[in-house]
Amino acid sequence: MKGVICLNTDTGIISKIAELILTNRPAAIANIQGSEQYPDIEGTVVFYPEEQGVMVLTAIAGLPVPDAECGNTVHAIHIHDGGECSGNDEDPFANAGTHYNPYDCPHPQHAGDLPPIFADNGSAWSAVLMERFNVDDVIGKTVIIHDSYDDFQSQPAGNSGSKIACGVIEAV
């Protein structure tokens, strides 16, 4: 089982990300849309294959802005194994399925467990290099954003709250 590769600026990650965006097309993209309760959420999650894994770039706007000064601005984001952003009255994205977990690992070691996104005034941006999957593995699956943070302990999904936004990962 492989994990998340965390890079800092000493490794040139900023220039690597800029090079990716400027010179390459992503191999896949998920266009994120909020649920009926959160219609302002929109953004993209793009997937670039790399020698060390898959670079996942996330840009989201319209996330809930807390009323309190110290309210939650951290949101769990996961790849789910379902292929639809539809659901029911209780769960608007029930058909997105559960976390993508082809190796039957406990949470937070699912292949689809991504680092959380940190919103500032409703917007969030992140870049992470993942070795847990390749792009072809996740095409047709969904990306889900939750209304709360992932506690990285609770089973099976980190107690990350309701699903508030979703996008299907499609080949570019």
> Where do the structural domains in the chain lie, given as residue ranges?
28-171
75-90: pLDDT as tens digits: 999 999 999 999 999 9
Q: What is the average per-residue pLDDT within 157-165? A: 92
pTM score = 0.88
Q: Do 114 and 77 meet the contact criterion of CB atoms below 8 Å apart?
A: yes
Other residues' Cβ atoms within 10 Å of the Cβ of residue 9:
8
Q: Measure the CA–CA gap between 117 and 127, rounded to whole angstroms.
A: 10
Q: Which of 62-71, 91-100, 116-125 has the lowest mean pLDDT?
A: 62-71
Q: What CATH number has the domain spanning 28-171? A: 2.60.40.200
The predicted structure's pLDDT at residue 7: 47
Q: Report d(CA 129, CA 44) in Å as an integer.
A: 16
pLDDT score, position 13 = 67
